[in-house]
Amino acid sequence: MPPAAHLCLPDLSREAREAEQALFAKANPAKAATAARYFQSGPGQYGEGDQFLGIRVPDIRETARQFNTLTLGDCAALLQSPYNEVRLLALDILTRRFAKGKADVQTAVVDCVLQHRDRINNWNLVDGVGPYITGPYLLQRDRSVIWELAKSPVLWDRRLAVLSTFAFIRAGDFDDALKLYAQLLSDPHELMHKACGWMLRELGKRDTARLLAFLETHYADLPRTTLRYAIEKFTPQQRSALLKGDFPMH
């Protein structure tokens, strides 16, 4: 069980309190310690200060299904939890609400996410929001928020911008995604190099020529991690050549 001092958030509705307590009942201290290391929550690490209950993602999703009628206000309240799994629960419920909601509901969900994005502060939380909430919402709307997030000094804002483009890629809309990755080539953080490489790999599954053209154009400036992630689906021989900057003839 989590420390008594942190058992409950103040001012939760009865339903939100029940959801919180349902997660606490599944806490596993041994797994919590492992999760804290995995998500690098120690001093000076990217997830510094994050706390964990040690609950498997399928169990969190099961709880989310059980409490899927929580309001947006409830979810916003749960996002204030120090525990990663409680915040993930809130985001899972918001994702379900977005997927099933009409335009006004989707707008309210996106507003909630952006207003409380300081609590979406580890990669598992960001990666559950960008492809399934902010990205789909921006497909047919003004995307200026993506460029604002990409300029943020906050790592998680920048990663949210990148992960939002997953929805664009799935829709066959590559231009803004590639423009964004080019803008972020000089980002100093390894998690951003991995995120851009991952998205480039997904783009390459749909349009190999666009991927190769991007990699060739930016080869000199590409972080090595980004390049390695981007070419994971190629054969070993192809990867070896691409790592050396040997691109196929167009």
What pLDDT, on the 0 to 100 scale, is given for residue 11? 77
Q: Is the pLDDT of residue 2 over 80?
A: no
Fold classification of 1-121 (topology level): Leucine-rich Repeat Variant (1.25.10)
Average pLDDT over residues 172-197: 98
Q: pLDDT band at residue 7, thresholds of 50, 70 and 90?
A: low
pLDDT in tens, 33-59: 999 999 999 999 999 999 999 999 999
* Matching CATH number, 126-250, of 3.10.105.10, 1.10.3720.10, 1.25.10.90, 3.40.50.720: 1.25.10.90
221-242 pLDDT, tens digit each = 999 999 999 999 999 999 999 9
Q: Do domains 1-121 and 126-250 have the same CATH topology?
A: yes
| DSSP letters for the chain | ---GGGS--TT--HHHHHHHHHHHTT--HHHHHHHHHHTT-STTSTTTT-B-----HHHHHHHHHHTTT--HHHHHHHTT-SBHHHHHHHHHHHHHHHHH--HHHHHHHHHHHHHTGGG--SHHHHHHHIIIIIHHHHTTS--HHHHHHHT-SSHHHHHHHHHHHHHHHHTT--HHHHHHHHHTTT---HHHHHHHHHHHHHHHHH-HHHHHHHHHHTGGG--HHHHHHHTTTS-HHHHHHHHTT-PPP-
**Domain extent listing, the chain:** 1-121, 126-250
Is pLDDT of 250 > 60? no
pTM of the predicted model as reported, rounded to 2 decimal places = 0.94
Residue 249 has pLDDT above 70, yes or no: no
Using one digit for the tens of pLDDT, what is the confidence trace for 89-110?
999 999 999 999 999 999 999 9
- What is the reported pLDDT for 1? 43
